[in-house]
Amino acid sequence: MKKNSIKVKDVTPELKKEWSAKYGEGKCAIVTATDEDGSVKKCFLRPPTRSEMGAYSVAYRTNPVKANESLAKSIWLAGDEEMLTSDYLFYAVAEKLPDMIKSAEAELDMF
């Protein structure tokens, strides 16, 4: 787990505003999942940078699970540690990682 990890209970509206100012309005996310015992867990993620996506793309070719884990740790802002340590919860986070990558709409015109 990351050093100085911020716990869910310590995430304030002010901290969320700070993250939005730093990473862009509407670009950070909360992933919420229910563990097998019924407890609700959360983590807060920021958008990945191009260099992080580059490293992810290279790693994904050899080990997709490790690549997802590395990316999740890279963009982690705060949350319940179990979101990274429990396979059951981690797969929920990994499933949402593609949604963290936003881009402009584009058109392709072939000639």
Look at residue 22 and tell me if it is in a domain: yes
Q: How many folded domains does the chain comprise? A: 1
Look at residue 21 and tell me if it is in a domain: yes
Look at residue 2 and tell me if it is in a domain: no
Task: Tell me which residue range forms the domain holding 28.
Answer: 8-47+76-100
Count CB-CB contacts under 10 A for residue 80.
21
Q: What is the pLDDT of residue 103?
A: 84
Could you report the per-residue pLDDT of 32-67, keeping only the tens digit for each?
A: 999 999 999 999 999 999 999 999 999 999 999 999
Look at residue 31 and tell me if it is in a domain: yes
Look at residue 38 and tell me if it is in a domain: yes
Could you report the per-residue pLDDT of 71-102, keeping only the tens digit for each?
A: 999 999 999 999 999 999 999 999 999 999 88
For residue 32, give the nearest of 83, 87, 75, 84 by alpha carbon.
83
Q: What is the pLDDT of residue 3?
A: 46
Rounded to the nearest 10 degrees, the angle between the axes of helix 64-75 and helix 50-62 is 160
Look at residue 85 and tell me if it is in a domain: yes
Look at residue 81 and tell me if it is in a domain: yes
Look at residue 1 and tell me if it is in a domain: no
